[in-house]
Amino acid sequence: MNPKVASASSGATPGAAHSGDSYLPEHGNGGYRVRHYDLDLDYRVVSNRLAGRADITAVALQSLSRFTLDLGRLRVQDVRVDGRPAKYLHRPDKLQIKPERPIGAGDTFRVEIRYAGKPVPISGRWGELGWEELTDGVLVASQPNGSPSWFPCDDQPGAKATFRVSVTTPFPYTVLVTGDPVLQRRGAGSTTWVYERREPTSPYLMSVQIGRYELVDLAVGDPVQRAAIPPALRRNAAHDFGRHGQIMSALQRLFGPYPFREYVVVVADDDLDDPVEAQGMAVFGRNHVDGRRTHERLVVHELAHQWFGNSLTVADWRHIWLNEGFATYAEWLWSGVCGDLPTDALAARWYAWVAARPRNVVVADPGVDRMFDPLVYKRGALAVHALRKRVGDESFFALLRSWAAEHQHATVTTEQFRLHAQRFAREPLDDLFAAWLDSPALPPPPR
């Protein structure tokens, strides 16, 4: 039984058990900021058994008598703050901790949490998110709120931190974690894989993939581009991802240098509804690999998220169009680069698609139920295209490159983007953004 948390004392105040996010305030916490997560995980695939230790370094933003972390339905075994046993209360999705002594404002403190159990995804309006069993392995896809399914965290998009993740699994499974590989150690029937994520990273962008994979190179040169592929899909994957080096080069010309050291594509040996991005990684289902490049636009989309969504992460979920509109527009740009339909033609096609649908989404604030609505993606991309037409190609691509560079590994908002874009325009852009982002009415097509 978990010890109950005592009341506040010594003039310190409790941290908030919620974030300031306008869409998912129940996820995330207040009163402190995590700087680093050190996760040591032992996972048994057959029994779906996870044993974990989370060593979290944080800074108090106020004097704290207690604080909370997000954690799903795993069993907490022990909690220590700065090495001393702490009282705690774990209810589904929240772990409330009372340290032996209050933490002073501005102090750096460490929280060590030992936990175990059978991880299950977080259920909600978007289905099941987070740690999910595959037919033979594991997939972790946490956007927007699945991270607490496998580790205690401050689960809000703007709460970026660095990570070190160690995962031990039975041989012959391969483990991919969002981060740079630093160690692989064989034991008696098991292998330990250690990864470091040195760039500040939102918890939802951390991922673990476990399966019987072959590791192959996608391209030669810098940055490293590799893939984890089920052996039976290797031939089809070689064709479907055969232009990955060209796609990477094209996006770097358009958006600026790739923001991480490595990019990893994982193809799960199960069907997935949609591919998903993580920091420095994208995960596809076997149904996305058919040997005909049917889904190459999705390859481009997920890679573009490394700039727009992962390096530049939304400060609040209402700004989701800054992720999805830009990644969708990258699909259209690649189509023009590779000799398929020109970007203008795709913009016209999707404008007609949007025009045939109800005018009931405000791109800059679609509401929590519509954050992943296709209209946010397509109208968001059309807003980007309208901006390009207004300022001209030279200013537009300079704008994108400086946007990615100036906010690298930070958080962004729609208002920041409006102000940034105005620097590259000779005339006010207020009318353009008001029409495309702030109103459900559909403006005339961009020309």
Considering the domain boundaries, does residue 348 fall inside one? yes
Measured over the CA atoms of residue 140, residue 146, residue 149 and residue 153, the dihedral's sign is positive
Q: The CATH number of the domain where 195 resides is what?
A: 2.60.40.1730
199 catalytic residue (yes or no): no
The mean pLDDT value of the chain amounts to 95
| 334 and 290 together in one domain | no
- Please count the other Cβ atoms lying within 10 Å of the Cβ belonging to residue 414: 21
Would you say 323 and 373 are in contact if contact means Cβ atoms under 8 Å apart? no
pLDDT, tens digit, 9 for 90 and up, residues 194-248? 999 999 999 999 999 999 999 999 999 999 999 999 999 999 999 999 999 999 9
Whether the per-residue pLDDT at 9 is higher than 70: the answer is no
Q: What is the mean pLDDT of residues 144-165?
A: 98
| 164 and 196 together in one domain | yes
Considering the domain boundaries, does residue 401 fall inside one? yes
Considering the domain boundaries, does residue 10 fall inside one? no
Considering the domain boundaries, does residue 139 fall inside one? yes
pLDDT at position 11 is: 60
- CA distances to 114, 119, 191, 440 from 55, rounded to whole Å, are 9, 19, 21, 46
Q: Which of 23, 43, 173, 377 is catalytic?
A: 377
Distance of CA 439 to the CA centre of its chain: 28
- Is residue 329 classed as helix, strand or coil in its secondary structure? helix
- CA distances to 118, 142, 144, 396 from 126, rounded to whole Å, are 21, 11, 9, 34
What pTM was estimated for this model as a whole?
A: 0.95
Would you say 326 and 420 are in contact if contact means Cβ atoms under 8 Å apart? no
- CA distances to 394, 409, 447 from 254, rounded to whole Å, are 11, 18, 21
The strand order across the sheet containing 67-71 reads 67-71, 93-98, 87-91
> Is 305 marked as binding a ligand?
yes
Considering the domain boundaries, does residue 37 fall inside one? yes
pLDDT, tens digit, 9 for 90 and up, residues 280-319? 999 999 999 999 999 999 999 999 999 999 999 999 999 9
pLDDT at position 398 is: 98
Q: The CATH number of the domain where 220 resides is what?
A: 3.30.2010.30
| 78 and 196 together in one domain | yes
Q: How confident is the model at residue 13 (pLDDT cuts 50, 70, 90)?
A: confident
Question: For residues 433 and 163, what is the distance between their CA atoms, to the nearest angstrom?
Answer: 37
- Write down which residue in 188, 211, 234 finishes a domain: 211
Biggest CA–CA distance in the chain, Å, is: 68
Considering the domain boundaries, does residue 138 fall inside one? yes
More confident residue, 322 or 125: 322
Q: How confident is the model at residue 18 (pLDDT cuts 50, 70, 90)?
A: confident
Considering the domain boundaries, does residue 445 fall inside one? no
For 207, the domain range is 32-211
CA contacts within 13 A on the Cβ side of 107: 15
Considering the domain boundaries, does residue 4 fall inside one? no
| 203 and 232 together in one domain | no
Number of domains forming the structure of the chain: 3
- Write down which residue in 253, 286, 306 finishes a domain: 306
Whether the per-residue pLDDT at 6 is higher than 80: the answer is no
Whether the per-residue pLDDT at 114 is higher than 50: the answer is yes
pLDDT, tens digit, 9 for 90 and up, residues 361-392? 999 999 999 999 999 999 999 999 999 999 99
Q: How confident is the model at residue 7 (pLDDT cuts 50, 70, 90)?
A: very low
Would you say 311 and 404 are in contact if contact means Cβ atoms under 8 Å apart? yes
| 142 and 243 together in one domain | no
Whether the per-residue pLDDT at 8 is higher than 70: the answer is no
415 catalytic residue (yes or no): no
Q: Which of 302, 329, 331, 351 is catalytic?
A: 302
Q: What is the mean pLDDT of residues 139-151?
A: 97
| 265 and 389 together in one domain | no
| 195 and 54 together in one domain | yes
Question: For residues 292 and 238, what is the distance between their CA atoms, to the nearest angstrom?
Answer: 10
- Write down which residue in 306, 340, 357 finishes a domain: 306
Q: What is the mean pLDDT of residues 81-91?
A: 97
Q: What is the mean pLDDT of residues 316-334?
A: 98
| 256 and 374 together in one domain | no
pLDDT, tens digit, 9 for 90 and up, residues 425-436? 999 999 999 999
> Is 301 marked as binding a ligand?
yes
| 194 and 90 together in one domain | yes
Question: For residues 282 and 123, what is the distance between their CA atoms, to the nearest angstrom?
Answer: 22
| 93 and 127 together in one domain | yes
| 341 and 427 together in one domain | yes
| 123 and 182 together in one domain | yes
pLDDT at position 20 is: 83
